[in-house]
C-alpha cells in the first residue's frame, strides 16, 4: 500500500503543480510538473532510479517539450563516456589490487582512527580534484574507500558505521576541492568562458586570482564537512579500523607491487597527466603552460572523455599475469593470456543504471531551458535586487543550488549564469559579485544522486540509503550557502 501511495503521489503532485502554473504557459507548467514528478520518484525510490531517469524519453514528446531524437541525444553525451572510461579505469585499479595497497598506505600515514581516515581521504580527494576532473578524482578514490570498509580484518561494527560517511566524504571532498581552481569542475569553466563572452571589456579572471579567493573557502568547507560527517550526523570518535602498527604490518605483508599493479597504475597516471596537461593555463593574459591540445591542431578535439576511453581501451589490450591461489580476489577471473580488464568483468561491475541517471539529469536541465521554465525562474528572481548584498547572494546561491539538485551542475551553471548576468545589469551591480558565488553554488548539490557526477558515483555503489544522502546533503547545502554569503556578501 505504501509503495502504491509513493507511486501515485508523484504524478498527482505534478498535476497539481501544472494546474497552479498553467497561467504561465503550457510548456512551462508541464515542465515544472515533470521536474516535481521525477524529483519525488528519485527521492522516494518508488521505482528504480534509472527507470525514473528515462521518463523524459516518453514524456517530453507527449508534453511538447522536445522530440525523441533530441531527448535521446542527452543519454549519449560526451561526459557519459568520461564516466564509462573512468569507471573501467577504476575497476582496473581494483582488479589488480592496487587500491588495497593505496588504502593501506593512507591508513598507515594517518592511523586507523575512523575520523582521521575520513579526514585523510577527504583531503586526498580534494587535492586531486583541484587539478583533475572532480568526476575522475571520485572514480579513482572510490575503490580505495571501498577497500577500507570491506577489509575483513577490521572490526565489523566499525566498518558498518564508517561506510556511509566515508563514501559521502569521497564525493564531498572531490566536489569541494573542485571549487578551489578554475579547472577543478566544469561550472567554474562555464563562468570563466561566459565572463569573456559577455564582458570582453573587463579584466580576465586569472588562475591565481581564482585560487586566492576560492582556496580558503574550500579549506574551510572541507573542515566543516568533516565535522558534520564525523561528529554531528555520525559519531566516529571511538571507531577504529585497526592499530597503526598492525596496518603497517599488513602493508608490508603485501610485498612488492606486482607487475599488474605497476601497469594499471601507469595507465591511470598516463590518463591523469593527460587530463591535467590538456588545457592551456593563463594568468593575466600570459601563458603559464601550453596544453597539448593547443600544441597540435589534430589534438584540439581530443577531450577528457576521449582520454578516459583511451585509458579503458589500454586496459583491455595489456596482457595480465596469471595469479594462482587467490580465489577470493578479483584476480581469480584472470586466465593465461588474458588482459588487465576483460569485458565480462567490466560488464558485471560497471553501474549502467548510473549512466542512465546522468543522461536523465542532462535531459531534465535541457527541458527546463527548452520549455521556457528558465525564463519564468529568471522573472521570479527579478525582485531579489532590492535585498541587501548578503541576502541577495544567499537567495541566489540557494536557488542555483536547488536547481543543481535536479540536474547536471554544468547544465545548471550554463542555464543560470546568463540569466544572472542580465539580472546583475538590471540590478545595477558588478556582475562578478553575483556570478562568482552563483557558479560555485552550482557545485553545491549534495542531496540527490543526480545533483552531481560525484554524488551519482558514490550512490551507484548501492551502499548509501537515499534518505541518508538527502538528510546529510541538506546540511551540506546550507553550510555551502552560508559560506558563500560569508565570503562574497560581507
- Reference 108, options 245, 237, 229; nearest CA is 245
For 63, 311, 372, the CA distances from 67, given in Å and listed in that order, are 10, 35, 16
> Pick from 194, 172, 183: which is nearest to 413 by CA?
194
The three-class DSSP label of residue 399 is: helix
Predicted local distance difference test score (pLDDT) of residue 482:
95
Distance CA 109, CA 112 (A): 9
Predicted confidence at residue 114, as pLDDT, reads 80
Rounded to an integer, what distance in angstroms lies between the CA atom of residue 478 and that of residue 262? 43
SS3 of residue 113 by DSSP: strand
Tell me the residue ranges of DSSP E strands in 284-341: 286-289
Angle, CA of 145, 146 and 149, to the nearest 5°: 90
Check residue 173 and give its pLDDT. 94
Count Cα atoms within 13 angstroms, Cβ side, for 272. 20
Among 281, 277, 306, which Cα is nearest to 293's? 277
Our CA angle for 64, 28, 436, nearest 5°, is 125
pLDDT for residue 69: 93
pTM over 0.75: no
Q: Where along the chain do its domains lie?
A: 78-349
How far apart CA 320 and CA 96 sit, in angstroms, is: 9
Q: What is d(CA 338, CA 332) in angstroms, rounded to the nearest whole number? A: 12
Q: Which residue has the cell 566516529?
A: 236
Q: Could you give the CA distance from residue 131 to residue 278 in angstroms, rounded to a whole number?
A: 11
Interior angle at CA 378, CA 374 and CA 380, nearest 5: 115
Burial of 372 (0-12, 13-18, 19+ CB in 10 A): middle
Neighbour tally for 455: CB within 10 Å: 27
Residue ranges in the chain modelled with pLDDT below 70: 1, 43, 103, 107, 111-112, 132-133, 151-158, 183, 193, 197, 203-204, 206-208, 241-247, 276, 279, 281-288, 322-337, 377-378, 381-384, 407-408, 411, 414-415
Question: Which runs of E-coded beta strand occur in 238-302?
Answer: 281-283, 286-289
Contact 409, 452 (CB under 8 A): yes
Per-residue pLDDT, 415: 66
Element (H, E) at 357: helix 352-370
pLDDT in tens, 279-331: 676 655 666 677 787 777 777 778 778 888 999 999 999 988 765 444 444 44
Q: Say which DSSP state 96 is in.
A: H
Q: How many angstroms from the chain centroid is the CA of residue 342?
A: 27
Note the pLDDT of residue 328.
Answer: 44
pLDDT for 331 equals 46
Amino acid at each position: 500500500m505504501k509503495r502504491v501511495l509513493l507511486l501515485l503521489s508523484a504524478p498527482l503532485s505534478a498535476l497539481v503543480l501544472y494546474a497552479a502554473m498553467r497561467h504561465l504557459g503550457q510548456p512551462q507548467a508541464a515542465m515544472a510538473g515533470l521536474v516535481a514528478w521525477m524529483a519525488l520518484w528519485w527521492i522516494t525510490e518508488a521505482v528504480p532510479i534509472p527507470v525514473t531517469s528515462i521518463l523524459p524519453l516518453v514524456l517530453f514528446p507527449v508534453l511538447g517539450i522536445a522530440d525523441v531524437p533530441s531527448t535521446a541525444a542527452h543519454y549519449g553525451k560526451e561526459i557519459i563516456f568520461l564516466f564509462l572510461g573512468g569507471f573501467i579505469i577504476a575497476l582496473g585499479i581494483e582488479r589488480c589490487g592496487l587500491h588495497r595497497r593505496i588504502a593501506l598506505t593512507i591508513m598507515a600515514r594517518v592511523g586507523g582512527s575512523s575520523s582521521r581516515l575520513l579526514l585523510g581521504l577527504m583531503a586526498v580527494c580534494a587535492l586531486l580534484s583541484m587539478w583533475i576532473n572532480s568526476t575522475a578524482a571520485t572514480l579513482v578514490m572510490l575503490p580505495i574507500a571501498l577497500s577500507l570498509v570491506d577489509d575483513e580484518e577490521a572490526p565489523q561494527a566499525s566498518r558498518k558505521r564508517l561506510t556511509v560517511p566515508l563514501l559521502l566524504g569521497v564525493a564531498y571532498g572531490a566536489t569541494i576541492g573542485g571549487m578551489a581552481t578554475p579547472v577543478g569542475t566544469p561550472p567554474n569553466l562555464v563562468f570563466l568562458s561566459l565572463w569573456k563572452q559577455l564582458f570582453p571589456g573587463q579584466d580576465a579572471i586569472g588562475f591565481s586570482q581564482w585560487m586566492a579567493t576560492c582556496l580558503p573557502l574550500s579549506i574551510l568547507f572541507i573542515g566543516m564537512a568533516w565535522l558534520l560527517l564525523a561528529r554531528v550526523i555520525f559519531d566516529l570518535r571511538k571507531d577504529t579500523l585497526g592499530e597503526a602498527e598492525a596496518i603497517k604490518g599488513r602493508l608490508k605483508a603485501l610485498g612488492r607491487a606486482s607487475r599488474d599493479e605497476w601497469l594499471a597504475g601507469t595507465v591511470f597516471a598516463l590518463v591523469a597527466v593527460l587530463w591535467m596537461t590538456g588545457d592551456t593555463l593563463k594568468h593575466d593574459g600570459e601563458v603559464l603552460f601550453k596544453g597539448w591540445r593547443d600544441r597540435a591542431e589534430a589534438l584540439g578535439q581530443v577531450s577528457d572523455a576521449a582520454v578516459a576511453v583511451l585509458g579503458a581501451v589500454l586496459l583491455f589490450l595489456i596482457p595480465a599475469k596469471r595469479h594462482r591461489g587467490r580465489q577470493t580476489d578479483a584476480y581469480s577471473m584472470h586466465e593465461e593470456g588474458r588482459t588487465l580488464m576483460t569485458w565480462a568483468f567490466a560488464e558485471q561491475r560497471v553501474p549502467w543504471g548510473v549512466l542512465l541517471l546522468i543522461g536523465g539529469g542532462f535531459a531534465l536541465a535541457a527541458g527546463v531551458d527548452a520549455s521556457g521554465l528558465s525564463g519564468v525562474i529568471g522573472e521570479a528572481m527579478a525582485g531579489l535586487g532590492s535585498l541587501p548584498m548578503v541576502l541577495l547572494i544567499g537567495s541566489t546561491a540557494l536557488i542555483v543550488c536547488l536547481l543543481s539538485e535536479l540536474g547536471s551542475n554544468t547544465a545548471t551553471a550554463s542555464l543560470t549564469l546568463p540569466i544572472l548576468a542580465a539580472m546583475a545589469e538590471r540590478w545595477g551591480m558588478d556582475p562578478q559579485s553575483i556570478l562568482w558565488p552563483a557558479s560555485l553554488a552550482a557545485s553545491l548539490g549534495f542531496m540527490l544522486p543526480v545533483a552531481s557526477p560525484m554524488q551519482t558515483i558514490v550512490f551507484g555503489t548501492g551502499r548509501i540509503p537515499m534518505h541518508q544522502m538527502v538528510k546529510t546533503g541538506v546540511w551540506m547545502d546550507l553550510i555551502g550557502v552560508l559560506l558563500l554569503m560569508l565570503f562574497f556578501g560581507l
